[in-house]
Amino acid sequence: MSFQELKLIQPILQAVAEAGYSNPTAIQQHAIPHILKGEDVLGCAQTGTGKTAAFAIPILQRLSAVTPLKRSIRTLILTPTRELALQIEDSFKAYGKHLRLKSCSIFGGVPQGKQVSNIRNGVDVLIATPGRLLDLMGQGLLSLKDVEIFVLDEADRMLDMGFISDIKKILPQLPRKRQTLFFSATMPSDIKAFAGTMQQNPVEVAVTPVSTTADTVSQSVYFVEKKGKTGLLVSLLKEGNIKRSLVFTRTKHGADKLVKQLAKNGLHSAAIHGNKSQAARQKALSEFKDSRIRVLVATDIAARGIDIDELPHVVNYELPNVAETYVHRIGRTGRAGFGGIAVSFCDTEEMSDLKSIQKLIGFKVPVAGNLITNPVG
């Protein structure tokens, strides 16, 4: 199925193409038609399945069909963490870049000033963590009376994190007549019953999880000091039978530096990140797809749009400091049931990142090698 077949409007089709997506994922194929019709949807899908676009795209299309005289919050998205709020905001901005809609996110732990001024300037889509939303509502700084579409994202995590009473306080502030989209990675009976309190005859959509990093992906970790990482990568690439590898670094600078180091070792690679022009990114990507270069070095943001079937090998040259990002990165391989290999390099400073990743995925990543000589003391 193509995005065109989902009957999306041209500005969205264009944005999706620019994001580098060629086809909708399973959750997108199943959820988008119902959301476009204005139906309530109960979606069981984990992060990594393309679920954000599955709701962001049809919401943007519905909102763009009507232009009210005055901008107001017409969509509210509740999500448990600041990281998710920012990711969802990025998605709305990316898929809505050719539309005139505005989105912003609000979350705790930072001063409220900028968030408040964003809201004052007018937003159509508000992405919020529950605490900050209640806080600003309590101060009379925003109203939910114009909300047409309400999304509860990652419901199971919300309940785990103790947000239930906050959500119960928010719900009565929403208009009764609205569309409600409820997403959760798991759907035990208590979560389903909770959805029942806010939805009417929802269409149920479920996809098999990929965020559990799937059995099809074999994961391993090397303990290696920072200065030993390039050498390790070079030897893995040279010795292993690796046709193509997507290598993740945390920073743009780190990506450029690695490309230079690989070149010194006779390995031709290219970096894609936010400082590269669209043309340079496209060139690197197509060279990688055609196997003209074997190694693509990417930062997380740049890698988002990469859509390559049968990508067999991913290297976490640096571990992400947000555990979910690990799942996203790993999701780049082992797609569509193809087997994949994900290798992580973990230095002494990254041990705590590895811990939180293992907590999220629920198991210990098997150790492929320990190249760290134990520091004295």
Residues engaged in binding ligand AMP (CB under 6 A): 21, 24-25, 28, 47-53, 304, 307, 328
We find the least distance from the C-beta atom of residue 128 to ligand AMP, in angstroms, to be 17
Q: Residue 142's closest CA among 124, 163, 154? A: 124
b/e map of 36-56 (b: 16 or more CB within 10 Å)? beebbbbbbbbbbbbbbbbbb
Please spell the DSSP secondary structure of 118-146, one letter per residue: HHHT--SEEEE-HHHHHHHHHTT----TT
Q: Which is nearer to ligand AMP, 52 or 344 (CB)?
A: 52
How many CA atoms does the CB half-sphere of 232 hold within 13 Å?
A: 24
Q: Report the residue number whose CB is nearest to ligand AMP.
A: 52
Residue (14 or 72) nearer to ligand AMP, CB: 14
> Residue 223, Cβ neighbours under 10 Å: how many?
19
Q: Least distance in Å: CB of 196 to ligand AMP?
A: 24
CB 355, CB 361: distance < 8 Å: no
CA distance 245 to 234: 12
**Comparison of 14 and 173: residue with beta carbon closer to ligand AMP:** 14
In the complex with ligand AMP, the residue whose CB is nearer, 21 or 248, is: 21
For ligand AMP, the closer of residues 97 and 169 by Cβ is 97
Rounded to a whole number of angstroms, the minimum distance from the CB of residue 85 to ligand AMP is 13
> What is the widest separation between alpha-carbon atoms in the chain?
68
Nearest-approach distance from CB 229 to ligand AMP, in angstroms:
24
Shortest approach of ligand AMP to residue 16 CB, angstroms? 7
Q: Considering the complex, what minimum distance in angstroms separates the CB of residue 22 from ligand AMP?
A: 7
Considering only CA atoms, which of 329, 365, 328, 363 is closest in space to residue 346?
Answer: 365
- Closest CB to ligand AMP among 18 and 135? 18
Shortest distance (Å) from residue 272 CB to ligand AMP? 14
First to last CA, the chain: 59
**What angle (nearest 5°) sits at the alpha carbon of residue 295, between those of residues 291 and 301?**
115
Neighbours of 247 (CB within 10 A): 25
Nearer to ligand AMP, 45 or 295 (CB): 45
